[in-house]
Amino acid sequence: MLANVMESVDRHLAQNVSIDVTQKMVRIDSTNGKEGDLGHKLASQLESLGIGRVWVEEVFDDRVNTFWEIDSGKPGPHLLFTGHLDTKPVCEGWTRDPFDAAIEKERLFGHGVMDMKAGLGCQIGAMKTLIDGKMPFHGKITFSAVCDHMGDQTGAIDLFKRHKFDYCVLGELTDMQIYVAHRGRYYFDISTIGRSAHTCHKYRAINAIEKMLPVAEELSKLKYFPKISDEMKELVGPELYTAVGRIFGGLFPGGPSMIPDRCTIRVDTRPQPGVPLEEVRALLDGAIAKAKARDPEIRVEVVVADMKNSFMVSTDAKVVMCLREAWETVMGRPAQFRGGSWLADTASVGYLCETVIFGPGGDPVYQPDESLALSDMEAATRINTLTALKLLAP
């Protein structure tokens, strides 16, 4: 039976669709805030396939979620293939057009090809394979490419507010591994409070930027290993990462002369599943206390600016087991479960649906001349196809 299924998948594999869709997406700049154009053009390309139902839903400011749905017409589960449309900005150092989507030496080049346009393309290719091969399934499959992942994950949140699903495969870049966990993110805005004055009266002032220096220095020294299980250490790593990611202070260049009375840093922390906000806050408070011991004049305010949840799905979940069986069939070796240090849309919606994360592409990402092996796209298309068949078997 499996041999017949694999023969049908191989005969009808829509790898060309996976590649073509990905190339067209790469050629459109969809930096966060500008992904609406890609959402509409992707819908047009899906409509040209002449299969199923295609539509877009506006989330805000013409930033849309794009949908393609194929329905078996028979009662059964509802499977979601999903990922995000938006990317980070293009980095410095490219030696080629980052949007050329050229294929050279069996690799597809382009900004955002790994995060995560190829992942979306391989999901679309899998659905096309199912249809072309007339492979029987029950229930329905919805593909949704969402907006604003790099912002507040509003696209994914809106998706799950409007629709219900039984299973979900999130196509984030996992280097072709099966991810069952990822870290969360707590943002803390830490401000030092000074006293303003004209630059000529600096000795009457307290410079908030200068007061921030020992605080940032103590925070940079943090190295913390929370008490988590060996399994979790293996999945996402033992150390809790912290970093000063942004700094704001003083007046914008070109403004009047003034000693700044407030300086704010945003501290980005990446806790493992099970590490609470209070534990991370205590860690930061300890660093601030050391800075104050060095300079008792330091005054500090701390605000929790944002929280994104960590993610964990049971390895016994049906969606994980079906993906694992599909992966092992295609790859020809036992699968190992992994986890990510980055943040996926599962931070906001992973608890609403049984979800696993799998896709082509891996670290390092958002570097010059980003590219992805076509062989990985072919394998990902196969694995997605078999996963859907196993989940929606008659």
* Distance between CA atoms of residues 268 and 242, nearest Å: 6
Structure confidence by residue, pLDDT tens digits, 148-182:
999 999 999 999 999 999 999 999 999 999 999 99
Choose among 376, 186, 210: nearest CA to 278: 186
Model pLDDT, residue 253: 74
One domain, residues 27 and 175: yes
One domain, residues 193 and 277: yes
Model pLDDT, residue 6: 81
Domain count along the chain: 2
The answer on pLDDT for 310 being more than 90 is: yes
The answer on pLDDT for 220 being more than 90 is: yes
One domain, residues 318 and 379: yes
* Distance between CA atoms of residues 354 and 343, nearest Å: 17
Q: Which domain holds residue 118?
A: 2-182+309-391
The amino acid present at 196, given as its one-letter code, is: S
Pick the last residue of a domain from 291, 308, 325.
308
* Distance between CA atoms of residues 338 and 313, nearest Å: 11
* Distance between CA atoms of residues 231 and 55, nearest Å: 41
Choose among 342, 335, 321: nearest CA to 167: 321
The amino acid present at 198, given as its one-letter code, is: H
Model pLDDT, residue 8: 87
Average pLDDT for 120-134: 97
Q: Hey, what are 315's tokens?
A: 């390895």
**pLDDT-derived band at 4, boundaries 50, 70, 90:** confident
Structure confidence by residue, pLDDT tens digits, 72-101:
999 999 999 999 999 999 999 999 999 999
Model pLDDT, residue 165: 98
* Distance between CA atoms of residues 394 and 392, nearest Å: 6
Structure confidence by residue, pLDDT tens digits, 45-69:
999 999 999 999 999 999 999 999 9
Pick the last residue of a domain from 245, 276, 308.
308
Average pLDDT for 319-326: 98
Q: Hey, what are 15's tokens?
A: 């790898």
What CATH number does residue 225 fall under? Answer: 3.30.70.360
Output the CA–CA distances (angstroms, integers) from residue 100 to 26, 95, 122, 228, 362, in the order listed: 7, 12, 19, 44, 20
* Distance between CA atoms of residues 186 and 343, nearest Å: 11
**pLDDT-derived band at 1, boundaries 50, 70, 90:** low
Average pLDDT for 186-209: 95
* Distance between CA atoms of residues 52 and 259, nearest Å: 63
One domain, residues 175 and 203: no
Structure confidence by residue, pLDDT tens digits, 357-387:
999 999 888 999 999 999 999 999 999 999 9
One domain, residues 139 and 271: no
Per DSSP, the three-state class of 303 is strand
Pick the last residue of a domain from 285, 308, 331.
308
DSSP letter string over 318-348?
HHHHHHHHHHHHHHSS---EEEESS--THHH
One domain, residues 15 and 143: yes
One domain, residues 223 and 348: no
- Specify burial of residue 31 (Cβ count, 10 A radius: 0-12, 13-18, 19+): middle
One domain, residues 298 and 315: no
Model pLDDT, residue 3: 73
Average pLDDT for 329-354: 95
Contact status, residue 226 vs residue 275, Cβ threshold 8 Å = yes
pLDDT over 90 percentage in the chain: 93
Predicted model pTM:
0.91
pLDDT over 70 percentage in the chain: 99
Strand-pairing partners, residue 83, are: 145
* Distance between CA atoms of residues 386 and 393, nearest Å: 10
* Least trusted range by pLDDT, from 20-24, 103-107, 211-215, 249-253: 249-253
Strand-pairing partners, residue 33, are: none
* Distance between CA atoms of residues 306 and 328, nearest Å: 38
Structure confidence by residue, pLDDT tens digits, 261-279:
999 999 999 999 999 999 9
One domain, residues 129 and 152: yes
One domain, residues 206 and 322: no
- Mean pLDDT of all residues belonging to the chain: 96
One domain, residues 51 and 175: yes
What CATH number does residue 32 fall under? Answer: 3.40.630.10
Per DSSP, the three-state class of 256 is coil
Secondary structure in 3-state letters for the chain: CHHHHHHHHHHHCCHHHHHHHHHHHHCCCCECCCCHHHHHHHHHHHHCCCCCEEEEEEEECCEEEEEEEEECCCCCCEEEEEEECCECCCCCCCCCCCCCCCEECCEEECCCHHHHHHHHHHHHHHHHHHHHCCCCCCCEEEEEEECCCCCCCHHHHHHHHHCCCCEEEECCCCCCCEEEEECCEEEEEEEEECECECHHHHHHCECHHHHHHHHHHHHHCCCECCCCCHHHHHHHCCCEEEEEEEEEECCCCCCCCCECCEEEEEEEEECCCCCCHHHHHHHHHHHHHHHHHHCCCCCEEEEEEEEECCEECCCCCHHHHHHHHHHHHHHCCCCCEEEECCCCCHHHHHHHCEEEECCCCCCCCCCCCCEEEHHHHHHHHHHHHHHHHHHCCC
One domain, residues 22 and 156: yes
